[in-house]
Structure 1
């Protein structure tokens, strides 16, 4: 009888389990909403949004640099990562590949975290000024995440409330996605302070929001709107807050971070208490450094997964300084056989001459590497690692000036645009542009394209520039053979991850995939 009773009990348990609602919340577990009780919780919450920058390798710790630089004509996958090389060559067959799908997913993790701050911090009884600032920071960060989602994927779903497992958002149009970026950044700017001090240095400022807003408008060729936003720096309350540094290379050294030219920097730091030199992963080792340097450094001191195209050198050499010397930005931007103008016997690569490391008759002898994110300027540095403390200067004042000039030219005010280009040129020692030449819009835009190469190469904006100008296409193969594979109407954007489409029937794939 006991055996029959036990068997009957098991049948009843299985039957009841089959009818259980597995989506029902566990009443013993804390809910997300129950966390948000105090100003301390609000600060922890916004800090968690910033920490998305360091999440694995898929955001500003590495992958976003791949997308902005290596996928453009200024760079390429130069190492042994075949998947990376194929994607950068517009030859992607796996739409769930981590390089693209991981970027998408981690950007949405940032959106998810920002949405919680925006939804729950308003309900907290706390200092109103601090509350508004934190909400403004969250809107800036959500705007930044959606800027990248729209730039690289074209049509992301707009998720603007804390997510639920049953949510099935539809793909937004490209215009709708950009409109949300504009809205978030405009509202953020109104709530953010002009500057910070102490431990708060590095949080989003009003200038950061206005700079990114101007960039978002310009990316859509909304030139008048871009001028209005960027005027914050020229004639508005941001005038005088930012200046060009006397030494161009100070914008790329860990010792001179958060300087007068920095509009917004992603903050990285080396923590000596971290127990490993493994890759960046906030969920596993809480690494707050960046692995960009490790993957971009020359072979022998790093992995050399990302290399620079040699045509860039010629762009810097198109004109000398007013003193007749080579443009000093070349040596600050690229490592190659003649980073030192005297040649490979004098050009140092982490303490050794280029000639001694790579010779003059090998495949490496023509190699070029991006330098701005490296730490080779540190005395005694012989190799890179996964925990570089060198901040990423996401938006610089020089970029603001060039964008402002481009937008002025875009509305036909070319004659007013010259001085802003000249500020950037004169800092580098070049002569001002001869305004008497009287360039038309097309000619001036051609000059802007040159100036953005010599000033901003290796900073992650080249693909966005080419996309904005409508210059992406197979014709770029004359200086980057990978563009032979580029298909117009397809490769301007990455594929939406197939795994997301499989889970959400309201998402649709990008054209051509």
Structure 2
């Protein structure tokens, strides 16, 4: 990772703390059991920092931002269409034909729980961390490291609750192999997420003093605002979002998606990648995040000059207004320059399946500076941007009792102004503002794994995905994986329709 040090070499010890109901026996082995153990750990600053870094590492696995996550969400939202070479396991998410035996869904579940375990390893050892002499690790540092672990635990549970609904809840390390739990309710999962984030806000450092790449007070406030919005707690969400200060929109929208502009004025939280730090275990890092895996395959998978497994659907292309600057920053079309302006996209660059596609994805692509992706990409993923804060504030203001539509429109217009579009008039009705938010989020976050979650929480997925194989009452959630229901007798049944 560019800014979080030592994230890879310390991961062996953390396989010890895998939940036995969420990982296989081989994940429980120590890389070097004679060197480190939980009993002798947490005596130095480096040990504390390394244990916290381990919680971040699962974001870099193939089950999440290295590969599968962007396929799953962009395919289900039908921002993607599939070329003939798209692999079957990813095509399932376009067609909603996956089931509880899906290895990709199982990997998602496992990698999130391993991230939770790594977070709990820190949280459950708070007493040991606090016992370290302040001359070795000041109390403010102890508090902020524990706060980072709570932020990461909240983030992983947020990933889980959005996909599965209620899930087993572990707020500390499991007591042993027999410590299996029934599914908590959705409300209980959200309660833990909110509690963790509120605690983290009080201890995390501000972005002005924290090392880039780590969770900050502002990131926790932003995530709290999003979590509360998903629960339709608009007043509480707006309060949290209003506390996110010190950010602004990048003057050039495209700067959000290139390597040289990472951690810019708009970025609130990113998943870190840096191919120079090592990608030797790109295909074998596994759910436990062991080994070097500092590269994302997003550019290679989506790139119209490379694997071109998917391409932008007509649905997303047609959503953009004329003269919206975001279109040229989001997609490549015939005639566009690339490789530092040295090359031009031609029709043959968009050919697949005997035809020519209208466009290819540009976000998170290295073509702006290279002629080929060459698999390894070190471009960070933006998880929360300031434009998201503005549009969430607009939604809260519009939807809350007594909300002022003109204020909501003001937030939307900040985003539209950056896109080179005319502002919305301030006399729109509540319903008109909501439709404007739906449109604006769709084009602002195209290809950023936001759309499917948005239409599910808005309850309009059946309309937005009309003509696809989305089934209302079923495909809002994923099924609990077979390998989990098969070994946890307290999980009975599955999600509706499964």
- Distance of 2:277 and 2:491 partners within structure 1: 44
Aligned residue for 1:293?
A: 299
Question: Displacement, 1:245?
Answer: 1.1
Which residue, 420, 430, 433 being the options, matches 1:441?
430
SS across alignment from 1:60: coil
Which residue, 307, 310, 315 being the options, matches 2:319?
315
Q: Contact between 2:77 and 2:465, CA under 8 Å: does it hold in 1?
A: no
Which residue, 194, 219, 222 being the options, matches 1:211?
222
Question: Displacement, 1:37?
Answer: 2.3
Which residue, 143, 163, 188 being the options, matches 2:154?
143
Q: Contact between 1:265 and 1:391, CA under 8 Å: does it hold in 2?
A: yes
Find out whether 1:418 has 2:409 as its counterpart: yes
SS across alignment from 1:184: helix
Aligned residue for 1:487?
A: 471
- Distance of 1:356 and 1:313 partners within structure 2: 19
Question: Displacement, 1:348?
Answer: 4.3
Aligned residue for 1:190?
A: 202
Question: Displacement, 1:66?
Answer: 2.1
Find out whether 1:332 has 2:317 as its counterpart: no
Kindly tell me: are residues 274 and 105 of structure 1, through their superposed partners in 2, closer, same or farther at Cα, counting changes over 3 Å?
closer
Find out whether 1:38 has 2:64 as its counterpart: no
Find out whether 1:50 has 2:56 as its counterpart: yes
Q: Contact between 1:49 and 1:110, CA under 8 Å: does it hold in 2?
A: yes
Aligned residue for 1:171?
A: 183
Equivalenced residue count is: 453
Question: Displacement, 1:349?
Answer: 6.3
Q: Contact between 1:33 and 1:120, CA under 8 Å: does it hold in 2?
A: no
- Distance of 1:97 and 1:398 partners within structure 2: 34
Kindly tell me: are residues 275 and 410 of structure 1, through their superposed partners in 2, closer, same or farther at Cα, counting changes over 3 Å?
closer
- Distance of 2:76 and 2:40 partners within structure 1: 43
Listed as ranges, the gaps of 5+ residues in structure 2 are 1-24, 133-137
Find out whether 1:86 has 2:92 as its counterpart: yes
Deviations 1:81-116 (A, max 9, x none): 1121023311123x2322111011000000000001
- Distance of 1:413 and 1:507 partners within structure 2: 45
Question: Displacement, 1:429?
Answer: 1.5
Q: Contact between 2:121 and 2:173, CA under 8 Å: does it hold in 1?
A: yes
Q: Contact between 2:350 and 2:359, CA under 8 Å: does it hold in 1?
A: no
Moved more, 183-192 or 107-116: 183-192
Kindly tell me: are residues 422 and 505 of structure 1, through their superposed partners in 2, closer, same or farther at Cα, counting changes over 3 Å?
same
Question: Displacement, 1:353?
Answer: 2.4
Kindly tell me: are residues 67 and 271 of structure 1, through their superposed partners in 2, closer, same or farther at Cα, counting changes over 3 Å?
same
Deviations 1:372-415 (A, max 9, x none): 1111111xx12214321101111000110000001100013222
Q: Contact between 1:72 and 1:462, CA under 8 Å: does it hold in 2?
A: yes
**Normalised by the size of structure 2, how large is the TM-score?**
0.85
Kindly tell me: are residues 53 and 276 of structure 1, through their superposed partners in 2, closer, same or farther at Cα, counting changes over 3 Å?
closer
Q: Contact between 2:275 and 2:376, CA under 8 Å: does it hold in 1?
A: yes
Question: Displacement, 1:470?
Answer: 0.4
Q: Contact between 2:63 and 2:111, CA under 8 Å: does it hold in 1?
A: yes
SS across alignment from 2:480: coil
Q: Contact between 2:299 and 2:364, CA under 8 Å: does it hold in 1?
A: yes
Kindly tell me: are residues 135 and 469 of structure 1, through their superposed partners in 2, closer, same or farther at Cα, counting changes over 3 Å?
same
Question: Displacement, 1:217?
Answer: 1.0
Deviations 1:116-169 (A, max 9, x none): 111113323332111100011011111110110001111111111112211111
Which residue, 345, 366, 372 being the options, matches 1:353?
345
Deviations 1:49-91 (A, max 9, x none): 1111112x10122222223221113224433311210233111
RMSD: 2.4
- Distance of 1:106 and 1:195 partners within structure 2: 27
Q: Contact between 2:253 and 2:326, CA under 8 Å: does it hold in 1?
A: yes
- Distance of 1:121 and 1:386 partners within structure 2: 40
Aligned residue for 1:502?
A: 486
Question: Displacement, 1:307?
Answer: 2.6
Kindly tell me: are residues 278 and 107 of structure 1, through their superposed partners in 2, closer, same or farther at Cα, counting changes over 3 Å?
closer
Q: Contact between 1:271 and 1:287, CA under 8 Å: does it hold in 2?
A: no
- Distance of 1:226 and 1:283 partners within structure 2: 33
**Normalised by the size of structure 1, how large is the TM-score?**
0.83
Question: Displacement, 1:272?
Answer: 6.3
Aligned residue for 2:446?
A: 457
- Distance of 1:49 and 1:67 partners within structure 2: 22
Kindly tell me: are residues 215 and 77 of structure 1, through their superposed partners in 2, closer, same or farther at Cα, counting changes over 3 Å?
farther
- Distance of 2:338 and 2:361 partners within structure 1: 12
- Distance of 1:91 and 1:264 partners within structure 2: 32
- Distance of 1:157 and 1:362 partners within structure 2: 44
Question: Displacement, 1:358?
Answer: 4.1
Q: Contact between 1:334 and 1:371, CA under 8 Å: does it hold in 2?
A: yes
Kindly tell me: are residues 275 and 440 of structure 1, through their superposed partners in 2, closer, same or farther at Cα, counting changes over 3 Å?
closer
Listed as ranges, the gaps of 5+ residues in structure 1 are 1-21, 321-325
SS across alignment from 2:382: strand
Q: Contact between 2:86 and 2:310, CA under 8 Å: does it hold in 1?
A: no
Find out whether 1:386 has 2:375 as its counterpart: yes
SS across alignment from 1:494: coil
SS across alignment from 1:393: strand
Kindly tell me: are residues 82 and 273 of structure 1, through their superposed partners in 2, closer, same or farther at Cα, counting changes over 3 Å?
closer
